[in-house]
Amino acid sequence: MSAPQLSGQPILVLKESATRTDGRDAQRANVSAARVLGELVRSSLGPKGMDKMLVDSFGDVTITNDGATILKEMEIEHPAAKMMVEVAKTQDQEVGDGTTTAVILASELLGKAQSLIEKDVHPSVIVEGFSTAFEMATTYLDKIAIKIRSNDKTMLRKIAEVALATKLVGEQRKLLADLVVDAVLTVAEVKSG
């Protein structure tokens, strides 16, 4: 098959120095790029997560341990790595937290999938396994979930404090948790069932 041409001239879609990777090599490269981002944000996970100092092309400095911010501030070129950034953005937009966990989890799942592919397990079997694991995990989480009454201020404050743990410290977190719970209870409509 010849290259596409326009008036006898070849159309270059990529730089002439670009290389083409396919098959397992392409899979490895994509998984590797995604895993690098998982490793990059791993040390920022949790209440004892370390901050990252990011310096942009203008010399502006950002210090954060927020996974979404770290990934958003980076200039990422690799398509698979860009997908990991999209994982973080989606998590941030839908939930508002858990971006670092989402990226690390996706990175680990890709790593496990790659090791299975290296053992000649077909990707559709891996996807089916992940779907089964998702169903089992969801069922288990539903089983161990605790029902919380809307008038249980102590439990609601604890939940708010956990959500604020990576954003604020000490008394600020407790004060804001109290304010959030009081505000929500003031405007919330209690529904039966």
Q: What is the pLDDT of residue 7?
A: 63
Question: 166 lies in which domain range?
Answer: 135-193
List beta partners, residue 5.
Answer: 10
Q: Long-range CB contacts (< 8 A, 24+ apart) of 40-49?
A: 40/70, 41/67, 41/70, 41/71, 41/100, 41/103, 41/104, 42/100, 42/104, 44/70, 44/100, 45/100, 45/101, 45/104, 46/166, 47/165, 47/166, 49/100, 49/166
Together in a domain, 107 and 175: no
Is there a domain that residue 96 lies in? yes
Is there a domain that residue 126 lies in? no
Answer yes or no: is pLDDT of 2 > 60: no
| Final residue before a domain boundary, out of 121, 143, 169 | 121
| Final residue before a domain boundary, out of 121, 147, 170 | 121
pTM equals 0.74
Is there a domain that residue 115 lies in? yes
Q: Which of 193, 109, 112 is nearest to 150 (CA)?
A: 193
| Final residue before a domain boundary, out of 121, 150, 168 | 121
Together in a domain, 22 and 116: yes
Look-up: residue for tokens 């998982």? 38
- Residues 137-164 have a mean pLDDT of 91
Quick one: three-class SS letters along the chain?
CCCCEECCEECCCCCCCCCCCCHHHHHHHHHHHHHHHHHHHHCCCCCCCCCEEEECCCCCEEEECCHHHHHHHCCCCCHHHHHHHHHHHHHHHHCCCCHHHHHHHHHHHHHHHHHHHHCCCCHHHHHHHHHHHHHHHHHHHHHHCCCCCCCCHHHHHHHHHHHHCCCCCHHHHHHHHHHHHHHHHHHCCCCCC
- Residues 135-155 have a mean pLDDT of 93
The token pair that represents 160 in the structure block = 């708010």
Chain segment 23-55, per-residue pLDDT in tens = 888 889 899 999 999 999 999 987 788 889 998
Instruction: Supply the CATH number for residue 43's domain.
Output: 1.10.560.10
Is there a domain that residue 130 lies in? no
- Measured between alpha carbons, how far is 151 from 190 in angstroms, rounded to an integer? 10
Chain segment 70-84, per-residue pLDDT in tens = 988 888 989 999 999
Together in a domain, 95 and 149: no
Together in a domain, 182 and 157: yes
Total domains, the chain: 2
